[in-house]
């Protein structure tokens, strides 16, 4: 029973790490309708910029916030250069461009920061002991940050004007345009929000992985895709739920079946759910 | 327009002729991908030696030119890169490959008779790969595994009152790492303290909580950890979170300052590590090499730097001897001359670099190259032996505990 509880705690933390990144990816898909393969690099950028900020003497929270903002801006600029001009060229052109952009960004990071892993500047902390359970502080922190970020995203989508415009564009782009919603503005806001959330997701990933590496976002992208598809692509709330299922699946699978196939469990769950509910757990736009 | 074309053709012909006169050496290493740091560490040292040779007149007036073959740290890409170097670039010899891609190049090297000297491949696959073309200036993982087991089971090498009694091995399932597994198991067994458990783990995972729980269930007093630095830190931190109080023993890849930085001094304190150690006789030469390299590249010598220094010097001296004795530098003559310049023998003069070796060879003497990693005396399969230092992290820095002489590993 202790082992199961322990595993559930870790599953929750893994789900939290996946969920932030998944929400960002789902947001951008909801509005742009294409799967952005360069999204993983926004995770990498977020982690590296935070490390850079701390190296320049900033406190960790401030470095994280500035890193997120910088990734958000980078997302808008990159989308303006590479994706916006191709929006009318169809899904394939955008997809291939995003893969190419992913490799360019990944190698730019490698060129500037090198390939060697760099420690994420988080101090070593002993866990809390609750009876026979040990509760590491980092996963608790990750869950708290992810929850907070998702509440902010929810409030933004529900109560702000730009959030409502994003939802309207996601539901029916033509109708949104006819209603006077500026597509360019919505696109820019979406890219900013999606990229900034990705940057924060990268920070949580770095906290889990302890070290940052140029390939970290790209490697994690498949798991994020699994969570997004599982929840219902384009639906941020579905992405949150999908991430939780994937996180728990990975931890339960590695503990009770085999630790060798961590990410494979995520895809087994994905295949099973999609066979039964082809549009994911929660379907529809947000 | 015609003049430009003629001029261009003349330039290209000159370049082609100049290239044809050069002696090509292939660097068969990962230059991209996860292990690109290996190529980045080896290449500048190899280039420094090549420059020294060329500045001293080359091999019979011909320059050594280094040609890169990027193995990307994989078997498939390693095979493609080896084919390019051997069949397209027509290199005379190879520096490399690493353990990661050796299996892809082995047959090609054997079939084409191109000699290789690897400064990085500890893989046990090279232990008895062949007697003609395979050489390395890095000790086999068999030897490294024996050194770890010897030290862990004998308190005199640990600088503590008791040896470890419940060792557990955690090893990454990758060609470069899993090569340690069997030597470690056999060595712990032969030294009277069998491993409590051997746990293989998948490399590159974001966390290793389950694997660590499994390892800790065997109540180890030491965990021997064979993996990449980043995976090792993830495992050590997961064990720290789970309350592990025992010790760690890591391999050569982690026994460096970068690893402490990655792990943090708090996590790394007390762990044991293994490092190939320069013989006392070569300590001063090691320092001189570090200064020389700093002047040349502006950088510090990185892991595999000293091994590369020895590999390139042996290769260059073998080429020179081939030129002087056989009148031609070919794959076959270079392969035959590697032992002639590196192994001991009656009447041979000890030399420690290309300049001193060149002087002796041109004076008609036979030479025995003495390297930075040790005497560089190849056994019949092209392996070297070397003493190891047992090191421990104290106050955030690696400190020497004892030296394990090569004789203690028999």
A229 vs B310: which has the higher pLDDT: B310
The two structure tokens encoding residue B391: 């090191």
Mean pLDDT of B104-131: 94
Burial label for B20, CB within 10 Å (0-12, 13-18, 19+), is exposed
Residue of B nearest to A120 (CA): B262
The tens digit of pLDDT for each residue in B72-98 reads 888 899 999 999 999 999 999 999 999
Residues 6 or more apart in contact with residue B131 via CB below 8 angstroms: B380, B381, B382
Q: Chain centroid to CA B352: how far?
A: 19
E strand spans, B165-323: 167-172, 197-201, 222-226, 247-250, 272-276
- pLDDT score for B89: 96
| Under 8 Å between Cβ of B109 and B82 | yes
B374 pLDDT above the threshold of 90: no
Interchain CB distance below 8 Å, B237 and A210: yes
- Other CB atoms closer than 10 Å to residue A176's CB: what's the count? 20
- Three-class SS of residue B177? helix
| Total CB pairs under 8 A between chain A and B | 73
The two structure tokens encoding residue B104: 């892809």
Contact status of A108 with chain B (Cβ, < 8 Å): no
Which of B39, B203, B215, B241 best probes binding to A when mutated, by most A CB atoms within 10 angstroms?
A: B241
- pLDDT score for B46: 98
- pLDDT score for B177: 86
Instruction: Using CB atoms, pick whichever of B205, B233, B266 lies closest to residue A211.
Output: B233
Which of B32, B209, B233 best probes binding to A when mutated, by most A CB atoms within 10 angstroms?
A: B209
Contact status of A115 with chain B (Cβ, < 8 Å): yes
d(CA A146, CA A148): 5
Task: Give the position of tokens 């109560």.
Answer: A159
C-alpha dist (Å) from residue B217 to B171, B209, B210, B246, B386: 17, 12, 11, 13, 36
pTM equals 0.79
Contact status of A130 with chain B (Cβ, < 8 Å): no
Instruction: Using CB atoms, pick whichever of B37, B173, B207 lies closest to residue A208.
Output: B207
Query: From the CA of B153, how many Å to the nearest CA of chain A?
Result: 30
The tens digit of pLDDT for each residue in B158-199 reads 988 899 999 999 999 887 788 889 999 999 999 999 999 999
B12 pLDDT above the threshold of 80: no
Query: From the CA of B201, how many Å to the nearest CA of chain A?
Result: 6
Instruction: Using CB atoms, pick whichever of A123, A127, A215 lies closest to residue B34.
Output: A215
Interchain CB distance below 8 Å, B230 and A205: no
Instruction: Using CB atoms, pick whichever of B205, B214, B243 lies closest to residue A262.
Output: B205
Q: Chain centroid to CA B9: how far?
A: 43
Residues 6 or more apart in contact with residue A9 via CB below 8 angstroms: A133, A135, A139
Residues from chain B contacting residue A114 (CB–CB below 8 Å): 37
The tens digit of pLDDT for each residue in B26-84 reads 999 999 877 888 999 999 999 999 999 999 999 999 999 999 999 988 889 999 999 99
| Under 8 Å between Cβ of B250 and B232 | yes
Interface of A with B in 225-254 (CB under 8 A): 251, 254
- pLDDT score for A175: 87
- Three-class SS of residue B55? helix
Note down pLDDT in tens along chain A; length 286 residues: 777 888 888 889 899 999 999 999 988 888 888 889 999 999 999 999 999 999 999 999 999 999 999 999 999 999 999 998 988 888 889 999 999 999 999 999 988 998 788 999 998 888 888 877 788 888 899 999 999 999 999 999 889 998 898 888 888 878 888 888 888 888 899 999 999 999 999 999 999 999 999 999 998 998 998 888 888 877 888 888 889 988 988 888 888 887 777 778 878 887 887 788 777 776 544 4
| Under 8 Å between Cβ of B348 and B360 | no
Residues from chain A contacting residue B211 (CB–CB below 8 Å): 259
Residue of B nearest to A211 (CA): B230
Contact status of A255 with chain B (Cβ, < 8 Å): yes
Residues from chain A contacting residue B240 (CB–CB below 8 Å): 124, 126
B4 pLDDT above the threshold of 60: no
Confidence class for position B1, pLDDT limits 50, 70, 90: very low
Instruction: Using CB atoms, pick whichever of B206, B230, B243 lies closest to residue A117.
Output: B230
Interchain CB distance below 8 Å, B211 and A259: yes
Instruction: Using CB atoms, pick whichever of A126, A209, A261 lies closest to residue B234.
Output: A209
Contact status of A183 with chain B (Cβ, < 8 Å): no
Average pLDDT, chain B: 90
Interchain CB distance below 8 Å, B34 and A126: no
Query: From the CA of B365, how many Å to the nearest CA of chain A?
Result: 45
Residues from chain B contacting residue A206 (CB–CB below 8 Å): none
Interchain CB distance below 8 Å, B243 and A215: no
Query: From the CA of A201, how many Å to the nearest CA of chain B?
Result: 14
| DSSP per position, A14-62 | HHHHHHHHHHHHHHHHHHH-S--TTHHHHHHHHHHHHHHHHHTT--HHH
Q: Measuring CA to CA, which residue among B360, B370, B354 is closest to residue B49?
A: B354
Confidence class for position B3, pLDDT limits 50, 70, 90: low
The two structure tokens encoding residue B54: 């060329």
Query: From the CA of B209, how many Å to the nearest CA of chain A?
Result: 9
Mean pLDDT of B319-348: 95
- Three-class SS of residue B275? strand
């Amino acid at each position: 029973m202790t082992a199961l509880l322990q595993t559930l705690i870790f599953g929750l933390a893994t789900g939290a790490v996946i969920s932030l990144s998944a929400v960002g990816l789902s947001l951008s898909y909801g509005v742009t309708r294409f799967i952005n393969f360069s999204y993983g690099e926004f995770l990498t950028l977020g982690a590296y910029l935070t490390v850079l900020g701390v190296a320049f003497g900033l406190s960790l929270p401030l470095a994280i916030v500035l890193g997120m903002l910088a990734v958000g801006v980078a997302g808008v600029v990159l989308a303006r250069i590479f994706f916006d001009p191709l929006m009318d060229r169809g899904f394939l052109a955008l997809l291939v461009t995003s893969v190419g952009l992913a490799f360019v960004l990944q190698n730019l990071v490698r060129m500037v920061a090198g390939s060697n892993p760099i420690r994420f500047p988080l101090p070593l902390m002993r866990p809390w002991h609750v009876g026979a359970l040990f509760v590491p502080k980092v996963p608790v922190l990750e869950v708290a940050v992810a929850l907070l970020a998702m509440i902010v995203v929810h409030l933004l989508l529900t109560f702000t004007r730009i959030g409502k415009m994003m939802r309207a564009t996601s539901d029916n782009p033509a109708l949104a345009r006819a209603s006077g919603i500026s597509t360019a503005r919505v696109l820019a806001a979406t890219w900013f929000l999606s990229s900034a959330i990705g940057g924060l997701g990268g920070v949580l990933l770095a906290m889990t992985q302890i070290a940052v590496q140029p390939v970290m976002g790209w490697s994690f992208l498949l798991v994020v895709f699994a969570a997004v598809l599982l929840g219902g692509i384009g639906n941020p709330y579905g992405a949150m739920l999908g991430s939780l299922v994937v996180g728990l699946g990975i931890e339960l699978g590695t503990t009770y079946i085999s630790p060798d196939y961590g990410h494979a469990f995520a895809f087994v769950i994905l295949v099973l759910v999609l066979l039964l509910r082809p549009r994911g757990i929660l379907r529809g736009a947000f | 327009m015609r003049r430009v074309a003629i001029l261009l053709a003349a330039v290209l012909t000159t370049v082609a002729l100049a290239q044809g006169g050069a002696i090509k050496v292939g660097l068969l290493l990962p230059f991209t991908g996860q292990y690109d740091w290996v190529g980045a560490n080896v290449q500048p040292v190899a280039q420094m030696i090549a420059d020294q040779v060329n500045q001293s007149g080359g091999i019979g007036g011909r320059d050594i030119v280094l040609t890169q073959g990027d193995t990307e740290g994989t078997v498939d890409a390693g095979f493609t890169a080896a084919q390019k170097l051997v069949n397209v670039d027509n290199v005379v010899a190879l520096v490399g490959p690493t353990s990661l891609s050796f299996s892809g190049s082995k047959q090609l090297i054997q079939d084409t008779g191109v000699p290789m000297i690897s400064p990085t491949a500890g893989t046990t696959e090279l232990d008895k790969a062949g007697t003609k073309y395979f050489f390395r200036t890095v000790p086999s993982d068999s030897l490294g595994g024996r050194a770890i087991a010897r030290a862990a089971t004998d308190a005199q090498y640990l600088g503590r009152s008791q040896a470890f009694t419940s060792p557990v091995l955690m090893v990454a399932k990758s060609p470069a790492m899993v090569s340690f597994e069997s030597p470690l198991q056999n060595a712990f067994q032969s030294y009277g303290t069998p491993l409590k458990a051997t746990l293989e783990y998948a490399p590159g995972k974001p966390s290793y909580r389950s694997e660590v729980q499994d390892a800790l269930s065997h109540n180890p007093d030491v965990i021997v950890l064979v993996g990449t630095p980043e995976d090792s830190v993830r495992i050590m931190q997961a064990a720290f979170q789970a309350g592990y109080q025992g010790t760690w023993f890591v391999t050569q890849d982690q026994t460096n300052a970068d690893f402490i930085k990655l792990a943090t001094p708090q996590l790394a304190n007390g762990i044991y590590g293994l490092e190939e150690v320069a013989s006392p006789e070569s300590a001063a030469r090691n320092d001189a090499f570090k200064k020389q390299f700093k002047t040349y590249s502006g950088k510090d010598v990185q892991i595999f730097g000293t091994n590369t220094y020895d590999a390139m010097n042996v290769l260059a001296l073998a080429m020179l001897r081939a030129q002087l004795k056989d009148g031609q530098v070919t794959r076959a003559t270079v392969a035959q001359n590697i032992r002639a310049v590196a192994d001991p023998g009656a009447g041979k003069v000890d030399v420690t670099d290309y300049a001193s070796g060149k002087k002796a060879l041109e004076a008609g003497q036979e030479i025995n190259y003495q390297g930075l990693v040790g005497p560089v005396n190849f056994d019949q399969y092209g392996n070297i032996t070397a003493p190891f230092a047992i090191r421990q992290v104290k106050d955030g820095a690696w400190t020497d505990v004892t030296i394990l002489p090569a004789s203690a590993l028999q």
